[in-house]
Structure formats: structure tokens, C-alpha cells
């Protein structure tokens, strides 16, 4: 029989990801602090990093395009 997936709030996910960033990237330490599975925390951190990388190029493109008024 498979395990039932838990659903965590976006607020908790953001808090855990911020804790990993603040601790210098230690997912295992953050997982212990929040009583979570380390792989879950790693997944959230990877997703947050990917999202940040997708946002940065868009901002860079905006700054290189001259504004027309």
C-alpha cells in the first residue's frame, strides 16, 4: 500500500526554503528543524531556485530594451 501525500501550505514551504538559504544551503538541517523529510525540502529548494532563474532573465531583458515614450 502506498503512502498518502501530505499537502503543505505555501507559507510553510517558503519558510523552509528561506531557512535553507539562511543556513547556507543545508537541507538536512532545515528538514530536522521543521520535522520534514530531507528529500521534500530539497525538492522545494530546487523548485524555488528554478523559479528564480526563470524570473531573472526576464528582468535582464527589460533593462536592455530602451524605453520608447
pLDDT (tens digit, 9 = 90+) per residue, 13-69?
Answer: 999 999 999 999 999 999 999 999 999 999 999 999 999 888 876 555 555 555 555
In a domain, 43, yes or no: yes
In a domain, 1, yes or no: no
In a domain, 31, yes or no: yes
In a domain, 47, yes or no: yes
In a domain, 15, yes or no: yes
In a domain, 4, yes or no: no
Which structural domain range is residue 33 located in?
10-62
Give the pLDDT confidence of 25-34 residue by residue, as tens digits: 999 999 999 9
In a domain, 53, yes or no: yes
- Number of structural domains the chain divides into: 1
In a domain, 37, yes or no: yes
Residue reference for cell 538559504? 21
Amino acid at each position: 500500500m502506498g503512502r498518502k501525500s501530505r499537502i503543505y501550505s505555501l507559507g510553510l514551504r517558503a519558510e523552509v526554503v528561506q531557512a535553507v538559504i539562511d543556513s547556507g544551503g543545508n537541507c538536512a538541517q532545515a528538514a530536522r528543524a521543521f520535522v520534514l523529510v530531507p528529500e521534500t525540502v530539497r525538492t522545494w529548494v530546487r523548485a524555488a531556485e528554478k523559479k528564480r532563474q526563470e524570473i531573472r532573465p526576464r528582468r535582464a531583458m527589460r533593462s536592455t530594451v530602451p524605453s520608447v515614450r
